Structure 1
């Protein structure tokens, strides 16, 4: 077969001669219907053993500028991910040295199902994460190219990544999870009907029709099966028609039959959509192994084999390592790799040249020097030409750009809020528990302090009110610790969706505030205030009730923001819970009830100003007691002329303003708004710090 190129501006002609007929077929893309022409699709439909067969993808158009383009470049397959000399090192603080995770790994993956295999610790996930750019590229050297060019800055947004653990919302149905991805990741110019059709098509492709309207399920609520859940994860990534789909050990936790079904679906999708599927997999069954087109086998971060799956057994047979006829090839490969690792041998013994049971050699060096590697891997990588010269550390120096989102901030906030509300309603245990607690605790406080508001005896009337305000403030602050689960329970989901371009961090942050803080916690504030205010008998005026509720609301926001900042700052739940006790204890001790502020030593005199609970205590006290007058009795000793003493009980009146001054609390009504402003300021500062912490989370999968 000979090929001639005839280049014209914006067109090309390919002449294919058949040796058996000496006839020539001409493909003219400007006139594909010509009688002497056949389309490229016609050629590729011939059987592989036919002389007319050419294993090529749709060729690219010759540039209009008249620049030269070789035939190999013209027929170059698309969506091909190539990598050369990938090296990844991490610094071990304890041992004070670098550990090599990947050592000059080379290869290429093209359309179809590609796999990265190897024993545990071999570097499978590290290679997958580097190729997908889902980890910090510090410590990475080498070249990664997409279709012969450096990967674009928005590579994460044009590729999909399915993590090993499920990252879909368990309270949503399969259809709702897919629609959430479509609404946020597809252009707003696409109609809702078109999005629905796309979601229905993906549901059909993945075989999810039977469970499309079933909830995925949570740890406490049974949902769909593990295989269906995994396919739902894949479906959320297929929404954007990714060029390359990465999967981190997709068969983990699935039985053999479900794993085969999943990989078969991936194979069919790759063939239908010309997508490149790259997955890491540990030890697949034989039927799954046969579905793999190209395979990279790693051992201790080095390449033991890279090439066509159909050729790997023959390659190792030529090396003297023969797979028995009825053995699973994947089992044979892993056993062979483990047996010949320098640090492992038969029955865990360190192998040596004198060991008669095993012959040890470096399989990675053997592959590097093999004729197969030179002919199939190195030659292909050498044929890839890039527009710009790529240095060995271009990954580390790659320019970072802000991701471009398909939807606006308000659209993202809208759909995130809707998802959050569905989550709260369907998993209502948290909401119900807070409402029940507010009712029960409210009635308990109402019973304890019943009619305390009508008691104007001194000092009982003042201290009853002051004690109620203290317990109220501490209840709100300690109750805010439930905020620990706001981001903790969805941390993995948030990190995955953010890195895959679903939404901005700001939209997610605001949606959680709207749902978890305003909707959920504000409802408990209203319930609690309605239960306690009039039973206790506080000042029966609308303006006083408004200030009472407003102070509860701003204190709740301040407490949530403070504890939220703490919990986002630590990865460990235990550490976060321990650290939240510090501000809550300080708030309780220095609120003014347990200790007289005037008696504090000078080096502790600043603590009341950082005690969050003291500000609402001052607001409520001024609001409720500044205009009251308390009365009391006192015993006075008098003496008769003969010197005999006797007791006289006298009454006195004392204003609420005087009682407040005794507690270092201002009775000026303007102080209410000053203290409210402090709580609002704390809220804004803590929320700002929380948002900064959220955006700085580094794990990007």
Structure 2
């Protein structure tokens, strides 16, 4: 239940006309996908669609499984401007997912270092301004693409009281069109046993969910895992398009993309065994490697060459050399630390101000509940409960075979338990034996709930 652009709401309410400025901008965005090359300036910021205004800065972030023992991630720092597509790359076990989880606020274990949003320490509002796309998409197979996005936004944002469901649905359609899912909006998500959309489209559904809720920063864990080369490239192309058009940032943990995918990223943070060996622009990585004494050979994929040199145990491994070079090179750690210190001194919008700006825009088109400026939840508990309950009922009614199976299983359980304890209330020790009956009844209900 979110209307990302008030102009869309107003036009839809008055005339039901989809040919509004934002609609035209989305149409233009889809056409611009053909021009996404990874070169500087390939896609320009669209003032009609753009809302991103959050920079992410982190300083001396590190993680250890046990204090003083096994270090998973050595202290690292960095700064990502709005509209930046970032690749966290490295061999398996290099710490890229650990770093991603720390930056996204998903790491529950203690870690050291600081993470800032617009130069200020992140607070409880950070999850409301970000979107996390896990490696394994967690979606119900029997919901449609459009229903998934609408439900996700209903749990995270409020909508003006005068906005009709039809108008809201039209706005969600624009978000789906922005990620190339308009034609499959009424298709089921699907699973191994339920026919649905492709793996690449499922990844884009997660992007649409974050886009519809106005996320400032996206965190994606191995979004191309399990996808074909073509689907992987298409997925990253859409990420870059959204970053440049909407001004949002996307941080992607990725293992070893092929060259056509790697060039789409603006920034590369390369890790090996928990240590940073490069942290800078993707276009400057070749020169950095040449300065280290290892120029990229002709007809060789740069990303493959980078990983070959920083993967421990390989024949061409130069892990220690690149660790040392990053620490001593003027273009390595020193330049990153200088950038981080400079950005932390800049004043920018706070997390609360970013939420207030969106709240004010929506308030122009109807009464809005007060902004929950001190809660990690953007929607009241009662409304969340209502949405979850309604969706669960819809899923049960849609899966008629499953509902029938549940009823039959419950009837069989009732007959078995009833036959086992028939006449339990009779006799001198009736009260004693009834305790066992109630225990069995509670256990049966509990086990039914677990499944």
- Are positions 1:196 and 2:169 aligned together? yes
Q: Is the 8 A contact 1:171 1:422 kept in 2?
A: no
Distance 1:179 1:125 in 2: 28
**Paired residue for 2:122, among 136, 151, 157?**
151
Cα gap change, 1:471/1:274 in structure 2, threshold over 3 Å: closer, same or farther? same
Name 2:64's counterpart in structure 1. Answer: 89
Partner of 1:260: 233
In the alignment, structure 1 residue 372 sits paired with structure 2 residue 344: no
Compared CA separation, residues 365 and 214, structure 1 to 2 (3 A):
same
- Structure 1: give runs of 5+ residues left out of the alignment: 1-52, 59-76, 347-356, 389-400, 454-458, 487-701
Q: Does 1:179 align with 2:138?
A: no
In structure 2, the residue matched to 1:163 is 134
Matched, 1:386 2:351: no
Q: CA deviation at 1:168?
A: 1.9
**1: CA distance between counterparts of 2:252 and 2:420?**
63
- Give the match for residue 406 of structure 1: 378
Cα distance in structure 2, aligned partners of 1:385 and 1:258: 38
Which residue does 2:406 correspond to in 1?
A: 434
Deviations 1:75-101 (A, max 9, x none): xx9422122222222217xxxx52212
Secondary structure class of the residue paired with 1:232: helix
Tell me which of 323, 331, 351 is aligned to 2:304: 331
Residues 479 and 264 (structure 1 numbering): CA distance in 2 closer, same or farther, change over 3 Å? same
The DSSP-based 3-state class of the residue aligned with 1:371 is coil
Q: Is the 8 A contact 2:88 2:251 kept in 1?
A: yes
Change (3 A) 1:126 1:471: closer
Question: For residues 322 and 469 of structure 1, do their structure 2 counterparts lie closer, same or farther at Cα, with a shift above 3 Å needed?
Answer: same
Alignment partner for residue 86 of structure 2, among 114, 121, 145? Answer: 114
> Contact 2:327/2:334 (CA < 8 Å) preserved in 1?
no
Q: 1:322 aligns with which of 295, 298, 302?
A: 295
Cα separation, 2, equivalents of 1:439 and 1:471: 21
Check if 1:415 corresponds to 2:392.
no
Q: Given that residues 128 and 378 in structure 2 are in contact (C-alpha distance below 8 angstroms), is that contact kept between their aligned partners in structure 1?
A: no
* Cα-to-partner distance string for 1:162-197 (whole Å, 9 max, x where unaligned): 111112222211111111122222223262344223
Matches of 2:341 and 2:231 in 1, distance apart?
40
The residue that corresponds to 1:541 in the other structure is none
Q: CA deviation at 1:362?
A: 3.0
Question: Which secondary structure does the structure 2 equivalent of 1:372 belong to?
Answer: coil
Contact 2:292 2:322 in 1 (8 A): no
1:485 and 2:450 correspond:
yes
Trace 1:129-528 onto structure 2 (pairs within 5 A): 129-136=101-108, 138-141=110-113, 143-189=114-160, 191=163, 192-338=165-311, 341=312, 344-346=313-315, 361-373=320-332, 376-386=335-345, 403-440=375-412, 476-485=441-450
- Aligned-partner Cα distance in 2 for 1:140–1:188: 38
CA 1:212–1:317: 2 relative to 1, 3 Å: same
In structure 2, C-alpha distance between the alignment counterparts of 1:57 and 1:223, rounded to whole Å: 33
**Structure-1 separation of matches of 2:417 and 2:179:** 56
Q: Which has the higher contact order (CA 8 A, sep 6+)?
A: 2
Deviation string for 1:352-403 (max 9, x for gaps)? xxxxx87674312201211222675343223224379xxxxxxxxxxxx962
Whichever of the two has the greater Rg, that structure is 1
* Equivalent residues of 1:168, 1:233 under 8 A apart: no
CA RMSD of aligned residues (A): 3.5
Classify the secondary structure of the residue corresponding to 2:309: helix
Q: CA deviation at 1:443?
A: 6.7
> What TM-score results when the alignment is normalised by the length of structure 1?
0.49
Looking at structure 1, the residues matched to 280 and 417 of structure 2 have their Cα atoms a distance apart, in angstroms, of: 73
Evaluate the alpha carbon distance shift between residue 57 and residue 380 of structure 1 in structure 2; reply closer, same or farther with a 3 A threshold: farther
Deviations 1:308-353 (CA, angstroms, capped at 9, x unpaired): 1011012102222122222222211111111xx4xx342xxxxxxx
Residue aligning to 1:491: none
Distance across 2 between alignment mates of 1:260 and 1:223 = 21
Helix, strand or coil at the partner of 2:79:
strand
Distance verdict in 2 for CA 1:235–1:358, change over 3 Å: closer
Question: If the length of structure 2 is used for normalisation, what is the TM-score?
Answer: 0.73
CA distance in 1, matches of 2:436, 2:407: 18
Instruction: Tell me, in whole angstroms, the C-alpha distance in 2 between the residues paired with 1:150 and 1:469.
Output: 58
Q: Label 1:146 to 1:285 Cα distance change in 2 as closer, same or farther (>3 A).
A: same
Assess if the C-alpha contact under 8 Å between 1:150 and 1:386 holds in 2.
no
Residues 331 and 474 (structure 1), Cα distance of their counterparts in 2 relative to 1, 3 Å cut: same
SS at match of 1:280: strand
Equivalence for 1:105 = 76
Offset from partner CA, 1:88-115 (integer Å, 9 cap, x none)? 22217xxxx5221221212211222111
- 2: CA distance between counterparts of 1:85 and 1:446? 63
How far off is 1:444 after superposition?
7.6
How many matched pairs?
Answer: 375
Check whether the contact 1:323–1:329 (CA below 8 A) recurs between aligned residues.
yes
